[in-house]
Structure 1
Amino acid sequence: MAAMDYKQTMKQITKGQFAPIYVCYGSETYLMQQFIQRLTDTLLEPDQRAFGVGRYELAETPLEAVLEEAETLPFLAERKLVVARGATFLTGAKDTGKVEHDLDRLAAYIKSPAEFTVLVMTVDADKLDERKKIVKALKELGALVPCTLLGEGELVAWLEQQASKLGFTFAPGAAQTLLQYAGTSLQALEKEAEKCSLYVGKGGTITAAQLGELVTKTVEQDIFQMVESIVQLNLEQAFTMLAELLRRKEEPIKIVMLIARQFRIMYQVKDLQQQGFSQQQMAGVLGLHPYAVKIAAGQASRFEAKRLTAILEQLGELDYQMKSGRIDKVLGLELFLLRLGA
């Protein structure tokens, strides 16, 4: 058997169909939390949840102790949930922890798991080491549940699903605008969706224009929008955004650093595109969300590689001049934007 599909597994759990062991792995910890919450809600009655869930950190607790807990009969309940976080021994990463884990004991447990326990191990890693016997055994059991970052289409669908649960809708294109403003963290997006719901009320529709007023943007997101304005040759908008950042007392050197980061990503994406990398592969190489790569690729298409190199050199020089006091910081930033627009 291969890894289980996250959505399919969630549906099975909702129907009361449980596997004895799950291994949740990937970078999207929000999905892991939702998975454990769904298991808790379906597996245990509300009055059993306080003592029906055992939580362990494998960096501090040996696997043997976790499995002993799994094999101990539940207290005042038919079933129990045992959650063990940080199963790095399932990855290719070197285990630097001081705790030793008995993987033979886990292999024996996999062959004969306790009927009254659901054991969940989590690991914050995009891949498990499938050369390891223990990973092969877990895969054979169908216990692997990938909790990977969602693509742009999946993120939009997830946002629309959240909106439906909260009783409002996104106007066409507004969900994509929310991704641009708030980023791709599901936790942050969940909070923004709740805010939208309160703003428009039950049955309401949120528009892209309203999101501009409503969403709490990080400095990184603001810089991203400012660079987007520059790329679209909308200098007036770029200067308005710069004025707002300065009004909020953001340090000009930090603004330069973040602008440079965005142009560096554009340069790297352009370079990798020329080498034939797909957006998914680029995301892996650069450690970015595929959606961020897609946006950067769109921005990079407006520039020649030589122009991007020149812009990065200008930013390096501006950073030096600012730090050495050779130019007024705000003036330096404004001159850079004017030169870029020209």
Structure 2
Amino acid sequence: MNYSEFMRQIKNNPPAGVYLIDGFQDYLSDKIKQSFTQLIPEEERSMNLSVFDMEETSLSNAIEDAVSMPFFGEKRLVMINHPFFLTGTKKKSKIDHDVDELIEYINHPQESTIMVIFAAYDKLDSRKKITKQLKKLATVVSIGQPSENETKAIIKNEVAKAGCAIDDAAIDKLMELTSGNLTKMMNEIPKLTIYNNDTKRIDSKSVATLVPKSMEQNVFDLVNTVLDKQPTKSLEIYHQLVLESDNPIQINAVLIQQFRLLIQVMVLKQHGSSQGNISSSLKVHPYRVKLALQSIRRFAYEELTSAYLGLVNIEREMKSSSRSTELLFELFVVNFMKKTA
């Protein structure tokens, strides 16, 4: 189930015994933790709520707590963070986890315990027995990349809690300026609701006024001006980015990532993949894929690869030579436009 389905389920139905929260999305993860915490009365939390970090604590300790009866209460909540044993990453750890204990537990969970495993990773190793068993027996909540529609629903719900409404055009503008980063969008909502307190409605104009562009969005604009053969505008955006971040190598790295994304989206689109499938395959926010699909309609594959390789070359020079990083970027723009003229 997704985040919205989970919130309805936890509000209207008794909780399940074991949950796997799959994906990395700070805002949604925090909201889910709050929802579980509220299931335990505040006066009981010191005795019946435990949090275990698998990078610091043995899994056996968490299982031991989970099989214990709640102390003067109806439910015990056990939350497990950083379960790296579900991934394919070989992590150096002084702690030896016996995952068979967890497999045994999820097959016979304690009825009075709610166990929640927060797997905040890009990908779990589905070949592992423990991962297979969890996906089979636990209630799985996927929060990695909410769809565009789900993101809009989450935003509208959060705005409504503040007694306001938000236009669809305003949501689109908010997603554009934050590159679809849900946590960033949620952080902007209090400011927007206060600003629009008189009208109780957030419009696109107020979003454009109050919300700064993310670096990713500025880089996206820069990519388009380069591909559109606008040297003056390209250099203007680039110099502004350098002033704001003071890290030309980082800017170049983000540019490389953006051109790589455009190439990947173009190839997958040519093979018949939908926007949703592309987002899932690349593990990229659906809104970024949507913008990439709009961009690639205007450009050839050869243009994208030429720009990508040019940026890779200047990154190498930025790291190995004493030449001005801004001069190197200016030369890249000039050379790219000559090649693709």
TM-score interval, smaller chain = 0.7 to 0.9
CA offset at residue 203 of structure 1?
4.3
Number of aligned residue pairs:
338
Aligned 1:79-228 pairs, distance under 5 A: 79-94=75-90, 96-125=92-121, 128-129=124-125, 132-201=128-197, 203-228=199-224
Letter in 1 for 2:5: Q
Output the aligned Cα RMSD. Answer: 3.5
**Length-normalised TM-score, structure 2:** 0.81
Distance of 1:332 and 1:130 partners within structure 2: 42
Distance of 1:181 and 1:198 partners within structure 2: 19
- Determine if contact 2:16/2:114 at 8 Å carries over to the other structure: yes
Question: In structure 2, what is the equivalent of residue 336 of structure 1?
Answer: 333
Distance of 1:25 and 1:328 partners within structure 2: 40
Distance of 1:207 and 1:195 partners within structure 2: 13
CA offset at residue 129 of structure 1?
4.8
Distance of 2:275 and 2:104 partners within structure 1: 41
Q: Deviations over 1:237-281 (max 9, x none)?
A: 656644543553644555444334323322232233334444344
The change in CA–CA distance for 1:334 and 1:208 in structure 2 (over 3 A counts) is farther
The change in CA–CA distance for 1:119 and 1:142 in structure 2 (over 3 A counts) is closer
Task: Flag structure 2 segments of 5+ consecutive residues without an equivalent.
Answer: none
Question: In structure 2, what is the equivalent of residue 57 of structure 1?
Answer: 53
Distance of 1:329 and 1:128 partners within structure 2: 40
Which of 17, 30, 33 is equivalent to 2:30?
33
- Determine if contact 1:252/1:330 at 8 Å carries over to the other structure: no
Aligned 1:232-247 pairs, distance under 5 A: 241-242=237-238, 244-247=240-243
- Secondary structure (helix, strand or coil) at the match of 1:56 reads strand
The change in CA–CA distance for 1:227 and 1:62 in structure 2 (over 3 A counts) is same
- Determine if contact 2:21/2:119 at 8 Å carries over to the other structure: yes
The change in CA–CA distance for 1:258 and 1:64 in structure 2 (over 3 A counts) is closer
Letter in 2 for 1:100: D
CA offset at residue 67 of structure 1?
1.2
The change in CA–CA distance for 1:247 and 1:53 in structure 2 (over 3 A counts) is same
**Length-normalised TM-score, structure 1:** 0.81
Is the aligned partner of 1:291 residue 2:287?
Answer: yes
- Determine if contact 2:314/2:328 at 8 Å carries over to the other structure: no
Is the aligned partner of 1:302 residue 2:293?
Answer: no
- Secondary structure (helix, strand or coil) at the match of 1:173 reads helix
Is the aligned partner of 1:46 residue 2:34?
Answer: no
Distance of 2:30 and 2:323 partners within structure 1: 50
Letter in 1 for 2:213: K
- Which range is displaced more, 193-202 or 134-143? 134-143
- Which range is displaced more, 65-74 or 88-97? 88-97
Question: In structure 2, what is the equivalent of residue 13 of structure 1?
Answer: 10
- Determine if contact 2:25/2:183 at 8 Å carries over to the other structure: no
- Secondary structure (helix, strand or coil) at the match of 1:113 reads coil
CA offset at residue 68 of structure 1?
1.0
Distance of 1:132 and 1:249 partners within structure 2: 42
Q: Deviations over 1:149-179 (max 9, x none)?
A: 1122221222222222222233342211111
- Secondary structure (helix, strand or coil) at the match of 2:21 reads strand
CA offset at residue 213 of structure 1?
2.7
Distance of 1:322 and 1:133 partners within structure 2: 46
